Structure 1
Amino acid sequence: MKRGISSLVSYSSSEEEADEEKFQAKVVKKRKLPTLSASIALPAPVDDPSLHQGRIRTTPHIEGQFAAHVYVSVPLKKTSPLHTLIKNVVIDTKEMVPTLQEFTTSNPECRELHVSLSRPIYLRAHQREEVKRTVRDIANNHAPFEISFASFSELINDEKTRSFLTLEVGAGHHELKNISTDLSPILNTFRQKGYYDNPRFHASIGWALLDQPSSSPTVSETHSPSTSSLNEYPTIPRFPDTLIPTLVGRYHGILSSQKVSVFPVARISVKIGKDVSSWNLVGT
């Protein structure tokens, strides 16, 4: 008797493997990923004023965002007349404002003054290189020039948390304003504030913390440090009204001397996070 053809269908080994892979995929999908260990997860940054001489972060930290600013620098050797003048000015100011903090440098033999060309700006990681290219192009379009410091002034930051003792720029103001104006397009593109409409270019040499609304004196204002609480970092309402006139009276003659306060500006810099990039001014 002749056997009939079997009605059973046999599958190839490749089809069996495909079915097995589909089954395994379903199992994998159902598995939950393990919770990330707390020892591996990065902690959120904590603003600790004690690490920054009482300064408080005025812009919240955002992961992947970098604080930046554009500036020109004036290096001062310890033996330079302006270095000596600033040292004396700080000593005199501390007699009237004991809470004054001096800007310091890692190199005791050289003080570096910064003249800002932008407000603090905040960049995403992918925007950093474009800003660097813009600053480099600006450097290529501007020639070196000279600046001088003409007087002393008190300037308060936008957040009204600190008051700054500054040297205001005299000669060179026009060139600095042109460079600052050239930064406006890139700042507008990134929705950042441009520099001030009527800028007062300056180099800060000292600062003091200001009273905040909750701790400001209400009956009799004094320029002595606030003692309303045992604050490790005392504050003041503002510098005494007599401070700037006193400094001008004592030091204006020396400051206005060409020997003391005229300096070449040959480079422009941008600091993004902790990274500093600089380019020579080469325009004609």
Structure 2
Amino acid sequence: MKRVPSLVPYGSSDEEEPALPPPQKKRKLPALPSSLAPQRPVDNPALHQGRVRTTPHVEGQFAAYVYVPLRLDRGTPLSRLLDDVFAFAKDQVPSLHPIGVQEILASTGVTTGEHELHISLTRPVYLRAHQREGFKNAVRAVARAHSTFTASFAAFAELTNDERTRTFLAVEIGAGHSELKAVSDALVPTLRSLRQKEFYSAPRFHASIAWALLADQAAVVTPPSLSTAAGIELDSSTPLRSPVPTPDGTPAPLAESASETQPQFLGIPHFPRDLVQDVNKRFGARLVSRQTSIFQVDEVCVRIGKEVSRFKLG
């Protein structure tokens, strides 16, 4: 007889399978503290005497410009002259702010500290991070290709920026204009390669010494926030167009709906009509005197963000 192999027993399909444990929920990572989060600059005019950023902030983009610096120690003839001019102009334009002065005594309007005036050679330039070093190298090369020269101031003038947000009291260059233009023109190929605007075709080289908000741009803003980041100051002044006939240039009131608790920044339509003429009559002879006006141009600076690089002329 053949032996029948034993059958392998199988469990019944009716038997229950062992239950699996429930899946565990994934834990969320804790949020980064706010101190580690990237801070985007906030345009708060309250931090900048009512000035408004005319070019929106772009992450990874750096504002830059090239200029000739003029540092003046306190007590020098030109420094004393600029103090006197500012005090005279501020009597007629109370909303006037000085440029290039480290400290101002608010009670008297008298300036203290050191002056550093800037004579712009470019408009504001906007660079990506990887373009900064190349731009500095280009400015360095241009500086080496030009020699030290003598310059002087010729007259006071009123200028306004391209966006017509501010008006400036400035001193215009006389001698040295052609040398400054040669340096500025040498930067054009670099600006074109970066797709940036060139300087003005007929530039009026100058150093701005004071500014005021224009009336149509006067701002009403909330008090400054502790988390607000400050922006940089750029001066790209161009000749003022013929002013529209207006009153005497006194500050224009803001909208009545503004809260009385908010800082108010008063603007003017333009400087009083006779201000620049009076400044030139009263201070022009001092400005063009040999001991006051003449200075040496021996370096070119480039400011990128908050970093300033200085390059000696060849």
**TM-score category, normalised to shorter length:** 0.7 to 0.9
* Aligned position for 2:144: 140
- Percent identity, aligned pairs only? 46
* Aligned position for 2:212: 208
Q: Name the CA distance, whole Å, in 2 between partners of 1:84 and 1:235.
A: 28
**What are the within-5 Å matches in structure 2 for residues 66-77 of structure 1?**
66-77=62-73
Which amino acid letter does the alignment assign opposite residue 95 of structure 2?
T
Tell me whether 1:257 sits opposite 2:253 in the alignment.
Answer: no
Which amino acid letter does the alignment assign opposite residue 277 of structure 1?
S
Tell me whether 1:149 sits opposite 2:175 in the alignment.
Answer: no
* Aligned position for 1:223: 249
* Aligned position for 2:37: 41
**What are the within-5 Å matches in structure 2 for residues 67-216 of structure 1?**
67-106=63-102, 108-212=112-216
SS of aligned partner of 1:67: strand
Give me the CA root mean square deviation. 2.2
Q: Taking structure 1 as the reference length, what is the TM-score of the superposition?
A: 0.82
Q: Name the CA distance, whole Å, in 1 between partners of 2:190 and 2:27.
A: 45
* Aligned position for 1:238: 270
Q: CA offset at residue 240 of structure 1? A: 1.1
Q: Name the CA distance, whole Å, in 2 between partners of 1:33 and 1:146.
A: 67
The answer for unaligned runs of 5 or more in structure 2 is 1-25, 104-111, 220-243
Which amino acid letter does the alignment assign opposite residue 90 of structure 2?
K
Q: Name the CA distance, whole Å, in 1 between partners of 2:245 and 2:100.
A: 36
Which amino acid letter does the alignment assign opposite residue 250 of structure 2?
S
Which amino acid letter does the alignment assign opposite residue 278 of structure 1?
R
Deviations 1:216-239 (A, max 9, x none): xx9964411112336621000011
Q: Name the CA distance, whole Å, in 1 between partners of 2:245 and 2:193.
A: 47
Q: CA offset at residue 102 of structure 1? A: 0.8
Q: CA offset at residue 86 of structure 1? A: 0.5
Q: Name the CA distance, whole Å, in 2 between partners of 1:56 and 1:265.
A: 32
Q: Taking structure 2 as the reference length, what is the TM-score of the superposition?
A: 0.75
Q: CA offset at residue 83 of structure 1? A: 0.5
Q: Name the CA distance, whole Å, in 1 between partners of 2:168 and 2:46.
A: 20
Q: CA offset at residue 45 of structure 1? A: 2.3
Q: Say if 2:99 and 2:117, in contact at 8 Å, map to a contact too.
A: no
Runs of 4+ in 1 over 3 A off after TM superposition: 31-38, 104-109, 218-222, 228-231
SS of aligned partner of 1:106: strand
Rate the CA distance shift 1:237–1:35 in 2: closer, same or farther, 3 A: farther
The answer for unaligned runs of 5 or more in structure 1 is 1-30
Q: CA offset at residue 241 of structure 1? A: 1.2
